[in-house]
Structure 1
């Protein structure tokens, strides 16, 4: 039984990939219009995108444009504050809080704010900025929409696997599934060819829903090349993570992706990571395995899986990116 953390589309070695991969013209990451009333079409569209790409964009998703603009405005306002004020929500040992990552080596270049969104029992508001003053209200309203959209997408993906609509949602813990926001702030960098905003990685959780600003930089790895994700106004980028790959017994791809900086323009992105509780067991769903199709991945406690993957990152000599929970 293997327990690889990358899908068959990924290179065997991230180090080799960093050294040799090139960026080529994108054939087009799928864009799915959720205003279509044909549920069977939506099931087919998101399932195919998850099987072939592991990433797609959704439009007409029901999140008010005004709310998305408020989310982006408050996030940008936070990073424009004086350093002393940003440090009031600094990390203090766990993953939550504000931090700068201007590192050597492959030169990751970002500041970020990381904090939990849901369920209420795990929230620690000391990591939520009090300035701008509307930050909490906007973020809590946005969280509700993220939960609704996640339930829809997981429902369609469940049906695409031939399972009941609630299968994947229940498989990551239902209402106990954890939602975490990370705001990535990538200042302009004149050495953008050498500096990576976020190193190549797959997300450990089930799914990530990401809203970028208009400055292009997010890239996905497919068919032995890096592909740009075109900016689509008001779209939400959906990224399949390790957990859904494992639960689907390899049918869904956990897309390898990275973020590049821009020479002249500020890039900001707002990914929301959705993952099981740390103490949940995660592995191939029994309904998807058989004697003819045995489990491809070991069932593990999610926190043990996180530890395992971080050790793998250490072996690759790459910095830790993506969703990391407290040990």
Structure 2
């Protein structure tokens, strides 16, 4: 895109990003931040989430208020769905849109993926034909999880807003408030005995505003920082928070849209549950006026979010869309 600022990422294709990051050093253990949300000092929480968003673009939160049993149920119904016969899974198969079930969606011999993708919110955007009817508890569990996920997202965005010197609701409203889209993607990676790094997802940043993810106990998510790859250590019941492109753009580059990737495991099944939070497709998104000025001019062009998506996808083949 010719008129996009140098700091933006739209013009970088997935292929070039993967090539650029493929040779970076892989660290054996991660120093990715962990934030304990049970701490009563709000100022300290603001400091911690802002610091993690500026330095890493990814962090884990614990004691976040989502019941552990509910998270366990979400994982159970997700695995039960993937354990169904292929014919039953095909009952919620994709029909030309991004929603629905798909097997081996990623192209290339080194990419493995089976996934279920559907909207969670707002209610007017939900199409239940893409929600499995089997297992029968799937809808009840997923709807209850969505309520908690929205509360946690608004809390985190509130602390990030305060850290920017803005009203607590500023970032939530900047992505549309109650009209912001929440989309769940359940990713299933079978064991892979091939030698070397077999990617479930190539290096990428997320297009939306923020992503909240829970994995099963099998590790695989990696984040790039200072030209090194860091493994995300598994913490039972933690939620992984990933800063995406639109928060980077709205904050004029203050928050980092982290590049990340996923790898498969040689012996164990890996499943992850990312929830992508994004503005409405027709919303204009760019640096917030309160965060720019003569001494800090806008680094990014204000764009309709759907146009941003179109621009970023231009360098990606459909079968190479990233997941994790």
Report if TM-score (shorter chain) is over 0.5.
yes
Alignment of 1:206-221 (within 5 A): 206-221=209-224
Residue 322 of structure 2: aligned partner:
321
Residue 104 (structure 1) shift:
4.6
Residue 287 of structure 2: aligned partner:
284
Residue 13 (structure 1) shift:
4.2
Alignment of 1:25-104 (within 5 A): 25-101=28-104, 103-104=106-107
Alignment of 1:171-320 (within 5 A): 171-191=174-194, 193-314=196-317, 319-320=320-321
Residue 110 (structure 1) shift:
1.0
Q: Matched residues in 1 for 2:194 and 2:25: separation?
A: 17
Q: 1:159 to 1:192 in 2, by over 3 A?
A: farther
Q: Matched residues in 1 for 2:106 and 2:247: separation?
A: 31
Contact 2:200 2:323 in 1 (8 A): no
Contact 1:176 1:277 in 2 (8 A): yes
Could you list the runs of 5+ residues in structure 1 that have no partner in the other structure?
Answer: none
Give me the CA root mean square deviation: 1.9
Contact 1:30 1:56 in 2 (8 A): yes
Q: Matched residues in 2 for 1:103 and 1:127: separation?
A: 20
Residue 110 of structure 1: aligned partner:
113
Residue 137 of structure 2: aligned partner:
134
- 1:123-146 CA-to-partner distances (Å, cap 9, x unmatched) read 000000000000000000000000
Contact 1:114 1:182 in 2 (8 A): yes
Contact 1:51 1:253 in 2 (8 A): yes
Residue 17 (structure 1) shift:
2.6
State the aligned residue count.
318
- 1:269-289 CA-to-partner distances (Å, cap 9, x unmatched) read 000000000000000000000
Q: 1:318 to 1:194 in 2, by over 3 A?
A: farther
Q: Matched residues in 1 for 2:32 and 2:41: separation?
A: 21
Contact 1:202 1:322 in 2 (8 A): no
Could you list the runs of 5+ residues in structure 2 that have no partner in the other structure?
Answer: none
Q: 1:184 to 1:122 in 2, by over 3 A?
A: same
